[in-house]
A and B are shown apart, each in its own frame.
Chain A
Amino acid sequence: MSPLAAGQPNITAYQKDRETRIMSILNVTPDSFSDGGENFNNGEATLAKTIRSHISAGATILDIGGQSTRPGAVQVSANEELDRILPAVDLIKRLPEANNIVISIDTYRADVAEESIKAGAHIINDVSAGLMDDNMLPTMGKLGCTVCLMHMRGTPETMSKLTSYPDGVIEGVGRELLERVRVAEAAGVRRWRIILDPGIGFAKTQEQNLELLRRLEELVQFPGLQGFPWLVGTSRKTFIGKITGVQEAKDRTWGTAAAIAAAIKGGSDIVRVHDVAEMTQVAKMADAIWRIKEP
């Protein structure tokens, strides 16, 4: 069982009839791949409206990103990243509707993580699982918060070329994630504070992304990784656009829906989404089909 934030229901990955949690993506960047900066510099009222709509549509976790990690994205300074994130954290803390909402911070930087948790965020979601900042895992250990460790290789600039998995993508991702778990544990991160993410779209080809979704159950049962909760993010990603022939990221809702259903069947505890209302319905339906008590 994994706590998200004090007072919030814990994630119980071992419970067959658990409810899938909806993590909504709240980009406060001018250059996100899929929402093109709609929350950036648009003022507090607009951001508050977005947050309220995510919550009323079913999100229980808000994932705030102050810097895009889309392939090839230009990286900004830590100060710039914090200047984007902290006002959003502060705003969520002041919204009565967001009282029971878990605040997650999408960052690979230790100092951004630390300042955000001090400001009242609950979770650090690091796409590099500590690989892009040597201080990240020790900082996570010190903060004692829940963390998401995602599988990727290289950096957002280089990852699209790092797709060789000689023993197969399940074996490769499982082994590399297990290594990150070991380093995190040694840095003082408690096992029950770790959520794993296969990193769909990061250092993977289209076929590898599809295989991860198709065989997610095997990854969830990978020796040494049993018992962890899983977060899966497929929302509006490039491979969905290619397969469905939808150029505009924001129009990839239907393809995303199928991918979310597959992720839930595969054992994902949390799904990270842009289209909160639609994917909440998909998750409810998928839960009704697959998340049932053992007979």
Chain B
Amino acid sequence: MGDRVAMIEQACKEMEASGKIKILRTSSLWETKAMYVVDQDMFVNGACEIETTLGPMHLLDELQAVENRMGRVKVIDKGPRNIDLDILLYEDVTMKNERLQLPHALMLEREFVLRPLCECV
């Protein structure tokens, strides 16, 4: 999947490029074995705290636009991809629709989400 850290740094730049998102703090990056499809490279995970004028759904649109701009390739579900941007928490918002669940549905199930998140609090 190429230089995984470079992908993450590019995503950070893309997120800030529109001026609607400002990254306040970032976590460290953690390397973890892929959980579901195990026959692939290690994943690199991190979290960041942002400031934004966008509401949750518009933020999701923006993140998906970044994924698309970066040419996200996903050959198989939960398989290798060059970038994957999720919203974990949005202030104290609790919501659920077909596109977005807040807090993130699998947040507590995944160490690779919890560990970076803990560094941002």
Residues of A within 8 A of B (CB): 1-3, 6, 10, 12, 14, 144, 185-186, 188, 190-192, 226-228
The answer to whether B25 and A1 touch across the interface, beta carbons within 8 angstroms, is no
Contact mask for chain B residues 1-43; partner A; CB cutoff 8 A; 1 contact, 0 none: 0010110010010000000000111111111000000000000
Does the CB pair B119–A191 fall under 8 Å?
yes
**Any A CB within 8 A of the CB of B79:** no
B119 contacts A227, CB within 8 Å? yes
Contact at A190–B30, with CB atoms within 8 Å?
Answer: no
Given contacts A6-B6, A12-B31, contact A192 B119 (CB under 8 A): no
Please list 14 pairs of residues, one from A and one from B, whose beta carbons are closer than 8 Å in the complex, sorted by A's number: A2-B28, A6-B6, A185-B24, A190-B9, A190-B12, A190-B26, A191-B26, A191-B28, A191-B119, A192-B5, A192-B26, A192-B27, A226-B119, A227-B28
In the complex, what residues of B have CB within 8 A of residue A10's CB? 5
- Bound Cα distance from A226 to B46, whole angstroms: 14
* Chain B residues in the interface with A (C-beta under 8 A): 3, 5-6, 9, 12, 23-31, 44, 46, 119
Looking at the complex, which one of B3, B23, B24, B28 makes contact with A192 (CB distance below 8 Å)? B28
* A126 CA to B29 CA, complexed, in Å: 22
Given A3-B5, A6-B6, A10-B5; A192-B25 close (CB under 8 Å): no
**In contact, A185 and B9 (Cβ under 8 angstroms):** no
Are the C-beta atoms of A228 and B28 separated by less than 8 Å?
Answer: yes
Residues of B within 8 A of A186 (CB): 24-25
Known: A191-B119, A192-B46. A1 touches B26 (CB 8 A): no
With contacts defined as CB atoms under 8 Å apart, how many contacts are there between chain A and chain B in the complex? 41
Q: How far is the CB of B41 from chain A (nearest CB, A)?
A: 13
Q: How far is the CB of B42 from chain A (nearest CB, A)?
A: 9
Residues of A within 8 A of B29 (CB): 1-2, 192
CA distance A192 to B12 in the complex (A): 13
In the assembled complex, the Cα of A227 lies from the Cα of B119 at a distance in Å of 9
Instruction: Give every chain A residue within 8 A of B12 (Cβ-Cβ).
Output: 190
Q: 7 shortest A-B CB distances, which residue pairs?
A: A227-B28, A192-B29, A3-B5, A191-B26, A1-B29, A190-B26, A185-B25
- Told that A185-B24, A190-B9, A226-B119 touch, could you supply 13 new A-B pairs with CB distance under 8 A? A1-B5, A1-B28, A1-B29, A1-B31, A1-B44, A2-B29, A12-B31, A190-B26, A191-B25, A191-B28, A192-B5, A192-B27, A227-B28
Q: How far is the CA of A192 from the CA of B120 in the complex (A)?
A: 13
- Contact A191–B27 (Cβ < 8 Å): yes
Q: Which residues of B contact A226 (CB under 8 A)?
A: 119
Q: Which residues of A contact B9 (CB under 8 A)?
A: 144, 190
- In Å, the complex CA distance between A186 and B49 comes to 11
- Select from chain A the residue with minimum beta-carbon distance to B115: A227
Question: Closest CB of chain A to B87's CB: distance in Å?
Answer: 19
